[in-house]
Amino acid sequence: MKHKFIVPLMGALLLGACDQAKAPAESPADFVSRIEREGNELAKESYAAAWVRSTYITQDTAVLAAKAGERGLAFESAVVKQAKQYKGAEMDERTARAIELMLRGSSAPAPDDAALRTELSEILTNMEGQYGAGKYCNEAGVCRELQELEAVLAQSRDYDELLDVWKGWREVSPPYRKDYQRFVEIANEGAKEFGVKNLAELWTGGYDMPSEEFVVEARRLWEQVKPFYEELHCHVRAKLSETYGADRVPLDQPIPAHLLGNMWSQTWDNIYDIMEPYKGVGQLDVTKALVDQGYDEMKMTKTAEGFFTSLGLPSLPESFYQNSMIKKPRDRNVVCHASAWDMGGGSDPRIKQCVEINEEQFGTLHHELGHIYYYQMYKDQPSYFKGGAHDGFHEAIGDTIQLSMTPSYLQQKGLIGAVTDSYEATINKQMKLALSKIAFLPFSKMIDEWRWKVFSGEIAPEDYNASWWKLREEYQGLRAPVARSEADFDAGAKYHVAGNTPYTRYFLSFIMQFQFHKALCAAAGYEGPLNECSIYNNKVAGAKLGAMLAMGQSKPWPDAMEALTGQRQMDGSAIIDYFAPLNSWLKDQNKDRACGW
């Protein structure tokens, strides 16, 4: 969901140098083999540079990362140029699949121009670095980094304090607003060299279907779950109005964006104390248990690994623990945004996460290890098939595991006491999860809606911020708590915009994880309410999951979907099944309210 991952797949991150003018005529199969060989070798340098840049933010590491990125862009440009020559040629199915993946390109394709490649690489490196080093200093001279600011939003219920922190973080992004505009210009030129109109078409064209069909498909999935979100929004707004007053949270307007416990209002579970339906029933204070039982960053990570190994999946290599960064260093700036890294094509998997001892970070570790286990299971595939069936698959795996972190599982791990089995406890648990999972859906949909419109030119640079808030209101029913202008760059205050990570993958993953969960529970032989199922320690479910992961992206994603679920479409109906008790409860709560915005 919230986490960038990196995979060395051909056409998405091919790194090195390729002198295509001197390349001899090759068969398609020979071409694919050569590119895999050169790409694998040259990727090592780029991954090392990117890792050091993320874990040691300095001017020197920026130079190294930018230069490595520049070589990667040059390699990709040359590969695409030759790959186009094989369109229509006779070749075997696997070779055709590999070349198709190459032609999908990356999220930041560079034009075949050395100066523009250099400029693009420097822009991307600098935007991510500025975000990672960002902090807000208030009028009293107290400076806080993002993690500290997020803690205030999660814990404080002081309207003015929340507003100060919310505004403060958004001072980080305006300095690179012009850089972002220039990135769009250069990457659009690069996209045209792939044979598409703009970067939006390139991004939406990576799902084994025509670009325009994918846009329709994403909209269909949103419409499946939108009514449930609207019920949740209506109830949350009513409770916030009770808490902060109807003058600050009117019942007929969008919700002020700083009151939802998260810097970007993407998940709302941090305001569970306000939203808890039945006070004190079935409380699951996992954070307290982690602290009281002396969990540290390593023990939390090992516990997360234990869920995957309970399914029959392999243990992680010792190098994972030697080379990962799971604790924030005290002596330097790092990018704390959690991410999984496939260094060495499966031989050196790592995560980068500033782990804190709390329930949210415990869940995040399971999410990141979902990526790591995907890497491990497809590591024997050729490099051009090392990737998720589509990018949403990669994001969905760890979150699918999180759905099995039920009260019964947590009790087995000694993290909660006796489980309260009652209707009230079920509604409380579902409310907490919905504030995370359902609240996230429109946010994850609108970020790329905004970027697609920016890339296509539908949103002009002078309208970046106004259009951002128009979409946030349309999809989420939220509004800026204070007046915003085009001097601001509120989209850039989100890591995935500054770091240029496509976001639709998270929307798709939040749909599919419930679909996966339902299928795995069926494979495990579970009978009962879907929200109570845990596949922990079930080797049959684990074998089914592992087999799908091992496919990588060697087949179109409907084949991978069918292998796991028996379906060939993404489907949001499992969400409605899972949350059926809460959906009914919310409708009852809202029956006398005027919902909508």
> Is residue 267 within 8 Å of 331, Cβ to Cβ?
no
145 has which bridge partners?
135
Residues 183 and 276 in one domain: no
Q: What is the pLDDT of residue 75?
A: 85
Dihedral angle at the C-alpha atoms of 491, 492, 494, 496, nearest 10 degrees? 100
Residues 181 and 279 in one domain: no
Residue 64 shares a structural domain with residue 181: yes
> Among 36, 305, 359, 395, which one carries the catalytic annotation?
395
User: Residue 519, SS3?
Assistant: helix
Catalytic member of 371, 390, 394, 517 = 371
Q: What is the pLDDT of residue 195?
A: 87
478: in domain? no
The single residue listed with the structure tokens 């205050």 is 493
Tally of domains in the chain: 2
Same domain for 541 and 419 = yes
**Confidence (pLDDT) at 150:** 95
pLDDT of residue 83: 87
**Is 3 in the active site?**
no
Strand partners, 581: none
pLDDT recorded at residue 72: 82
User: Which residues make Cβ contacts (< 8 Å) with residue 140, sequence separation at least 6?
Assistant: none
Compute φ and ψ for 5, nearest 5 degrees.
Answer: -125, 160
**One domain, residues 183 and 251:** no
Given a contact cutoff of 8 angstroms between Cβ atoms, the answer to whether 362 and 304 are in contact is yes
Rounded CA gap, 55 and 452, in Å?
30
The total number of residues shown for the chain amounts to 597
Per-residue confidence (pLDDT) for residue 416, from 0 to 100: 85
What is the structure's pLDDT at 284?
73
Q: Are residues 181 and 293 in the same domain?
A: no
User: Same domain, yes or no, for 291 and 415?
Assistant: yes
Q: Does 405 map to a domain?
A: yes
Look at residue 36 and tell me if it is in a domain. yes
- Which pLDDT belongs to residue 300? 96
Number of C-beta neighbours around residue 421 at 10 A: 11
Residue 212: inside a domain: no
Cα–Cα nearest to 7, from 399, 422, 384: 384
pLDDT for the residue numbered 220: 97
Listed as ranges, residues in the chain with pLDDT below 70 are 1-24
Active-site residue (options: 131, 374, 506, 536): 506
* pLDDT score, position 76: 80
Of 66, 338, 425, 491, which residue is the catalytic one?
Answer: 338
Is 395 catalytic? The answer is: yes
Residue of 36, 368, 449, 473 marked catalytic:
368
> Active site includes 150?
no
3, 233, 337, 390: the catalytic one is: 337
Of the candidates 507, 432, 499, the residue with the CA atom closest to the CA atom of residue 475: 507
User: Considering the domain boundaries, does residue 159 fall inside one?
Assistant: no
**CB contact set of 355 (below 8 Å; sequence gap of 6+):** 297, 300, 301, 326, 327, 361, 364, 365
Whether 506 is catalytic:
yes
pLDDT score of 486: 98
> Is 340 in a helix, a strand, or coil?
strand
Range of the domain at 530: 240-440+503-589
Same domain, 436 and 287: yes
List all residues 6 or more positions away from 59 whose beta carbon is below 8 Å from its beta carbon. Answer: none
